[in-house]
Structure 1
Amino acid sequence: MKVGFLFNHDALHQIRHTAPVIGEIVRYPQVEAVVLTSSAEQEREVRALLGAAAAKVRFVSLKIGKVAAALDRALRFVAPFRRIATLRENLPAFAALDVLVVPETTSLLLRDRFGLDQLKYVWIPHGAGDRSVGFRAVMRGFDLVLLSGAKVRDRMLAAGLITPDNHVIVGYPKFDTIDNGPPPRLFANDRPTVLYNPHFDPLLSSWYSMGEDVVAWFAAQSDYNLVVAPHVMLAQRRVHASVEHRVVHWRRDVAERYRSLPNIHVDMGSEASVDMTYTRGADIYLGDASSQIYEWIVRPRPAIFLDASKAEWQDSPDFAHWRLGEVIGDIRELPGALDRAVREPDRFRAAQEAAFAATFSLTDQPASARAAAAIVTRFGGA
């Protein structure tokens, strides 16, 4: 059985959600593991995560033609053109597989638009957040869905996106790649460190309307450190458009005058943005719609959410994570919220612990091993 793992994205943030499964699935003698990547950076990242197990894997580099590459250079900042061209121009590589494992949904175009209907499609979501975009009708197209825990499972079942028979709860494979040692020290002082982690969604993100004021506020004070580490896709495009919300925003950069300040660190997409360096090392979370809040509550700590869209969030499942901290709608409320976070660090501990237990299934077996077993059991007869 040939099982392919596809990595076909502008950034590297999806890799840790499925790559650990490769290292486990190669233990099955009936499986030939194939890694398909659309950039040299992706292949290097996968090889680094697999270590010695990479020798048991066949790597395939997916290329696109000159015309598609030229169009990509023109369109990459506003649309995922290269991802679709990579699928369309490499159909023989996909047709040679029995099973394809992906961390996103665009790959279903291989079947729905390009005719590869004999291939079995497995989805491991890259995150366990609450945004409505994570619960769309397209998800009904997968043959097997591997989920982190009961929270996501229950919502998908209620919406008819999965069936009782086409999903398995396996946990969160990304956690298998994370150092469980002491949290990293992010600054050479003892001030509380705030992680500002805005999303790129043009409606829900605080970056476009509040981000500059957030950074300016921290620059003007000396009580806190600030790590500015948005979702890595924020920096991948200059213009962000949401078909779902019909909103478009132009991304501003962090002004140079803030980048050299000793209490501010700006990271617009390095490895540390995706390997939980900041979510492990900071003291207070400041965000909006990113699913990284669920990686944050591995160790319960204060969280503050910026309501940039004036959402009616209280009873919405799309904003369930906003119950894990204080919600503010104006930058003028930030000093008070930070003060309360320092004075009452356990204010939302019970809510965070309950949310973590519902979001992530933890057992004595690593999530990546559980996922590999689910794939082989479903499609390989083991």
Structure 2
Amino acid sequence: MTSDSSSDSRRIGFLFNHDELHQVAHIAPIISALQRQAPGARVEVITSSDRQALAVRQFLDSALPAPVFRSIRPNRWSRLAENMLGKMVPLNRLSSLKRSSALFRDFDALVVPETTTTFLRKNSPSERPKLIFFPHGAGDRSIGFSPEIRLFDYVLLPGEKTRDRMLAVGVIRPDNHRIVGYPKFEAFANRRPVKLFDNDRPVVLYNPHFDPLLSSWFRFGESILDYFANQNDYNLIFAPHVMLFQRKILASVEHRLLRFRQRIDSRYDRLDHMHIDTGSARSVDMTYTRAADIYLGDVSSQIYEFIQNPRPAIFLNSHGAEWRGNANYEHWTFGPVLDDIADLGATLDAVSPLSDSCRQAQARAFAYSFDMDRRKSPSQRAAAAIAEFMDIPQ
């Protein structure tokens, strides 16, 4: 048993406590699956904004009773303090967790897509609630295998790669995790491709990360936009990680670095062959990774969503990384890596069609990163794993 409440009335909360919406699709499909898999469980949704609640609802099965929605909005003082600090520190998230700790103790378990929730365990060690983690992405950055993951009671994983690396660094144990696949693929499986341009030129997706050390945006970004603005061979989608333009100051605790957000010149908005999106819903629903012919980026985990259908990719080494043989840059084996964007034009011309070696590298990495089971969906597998861990009848 994992708690003192009766097994047929476990209270399971799905907690969404991030400022933006990019984490929602990673666990929201599991909500209805758990309702079906374990009808005796009390499944509830906890959000910190109306936007989150609306985003979660789009993934719920309308044939099932709607779960209870609860709100844990941050107070105005934490919002003010976070804004004064340029949103550098996630005070809103921490405030919401702190102020709602009594509510959380009434749950048997919380299912979460990010590690900030471990604040509950650090702030007040307790057996309730159990913390169940599903990482929001399947990328290679070292932050995805951070020590905080040790504080979770159970971890759901998209595939063998994440499991192997987490086991290697000791943040999970052989008995406290389950590979279940990638619910985000399931969430957007029926979305039709979107045509963004009125021409047939190849479409390049430039998708820089927000990390102030690893992101190519701070060193190369403006030059890349200028390059595409002044050529007629390619269309460009500029869709960075949603957090790149949501903060005035970008901070990396891991790399101890701060950078100020840069502005985008409005002249790019007037160009028919450039599409600029700094944070709409399309930035997180795979619209752009499916619409592009060529990927241009640095360390974002979206490259793994892009290679679901193998295509040319180019990577930007803007920070002098010694990346060869480094697991944190495994995705840089999917295509050429540029240290200088003076080579961008020639590389774009040479990268298509995709070489056999890059196609094989992408296919191997995709299979290692995502466990694809045709018999059961990721949400069904995750729901079964949660029910089993929480000793809920199925």
Counterpart for residue 351 of structure 1: 361
Equivalent pairs: percent with the same residue? 49
Tell me which of 21, 31, 35 is aligned to 1:12: 21
Deviations 1:185-205 (A, max 9, x none): 221111000000000011110
Q: Output aligned runs, 1:158-237, within 5 Å.
A: 158-180=168-190, 183-237=193-247
TM-score, normalising length from structure 2?
Answer: 0.94
Counterpart for residue 125 of structure 1: 135
Of 46-55 and 315-324, deviating more is 46-55
**Distance of aligned partners of 1:263 and 1:66 in 2 relative to their CA distance in 1, 3 Å threshold:** closer
Supply the AA of the counterpart residue of 1:370.
Answer: R
In 1, Cα distance between the equivalents of 2:64 and 2:53? 10
Is 2:334 aligned against 1:324?
A: yes
Tell me which of 375, 378, 382 is aligned to 2:386: 375
Cα offset for 1:345?
5.5
Deviations 1:94-149 (A, max 9, x none): 11100000001110111211344321110000000000111111111111100000
Aligned residues: 382
Cα offset for 1:344?
4.2
Supply the AA of the counterpart residue of 1:349.
Answer: R
Unaligned runs of 5+ in 1: none
Tell me which of 140, 145, 149 is aligned to 1:135: 145
Supply the AA of the counterpart residue of 2:358.
Answer: F
Cα offset for 1:343?
4.3
In 2, Cα distance between the equivalents of 1:199 and 1:284? 17
Unaligned runs of 5+ in 2: 1-9
Cα offset for 1:66?
3.6
Counterpart contact for 2:141–2:329, Cα < 8 Å = yes
Is 2:277 aligned against 1:267?
A: yes
Q: Give the ranges of 4+ consecutive aligned residues of structure 1 lying more than 4 Å apart after TM superposition.
A: 343-347
Counterpart for residue 4 of structure 2: none
In 2, Cα distance between the equivalents of 1:33 and 1:105? 21
Q: Output aligned runs, 1:44-193, within 5 Å.
A: 44-52=54-62, 55-75=65-85, 77-180=87-190, 183-193=193-203
Is 2:268 aligned against 1:258?
A: yes
Tell me which of 261, 265, 289 is aligned to 1:279: 289
More RCO (CA 8 Å, sep 6+): 2
Counterpart for residue 5 of structure 2: none
Deviations 1:285-324 (A, max 9, x none): 0000100000000000000000001100001100001011
Tell me which of 277, 294, 298 is aligned to 2:308: 298
RMSD: 1.4
Supply the AA of the counterpart residue of 1:212.
Answer: E
Of 19-28 and 244-253, deviating more is 244-253
In 1, Cα distance between the equivalents of 2:236 and 2:326? 30
Counterpart for residue 313 of structure 1: 323
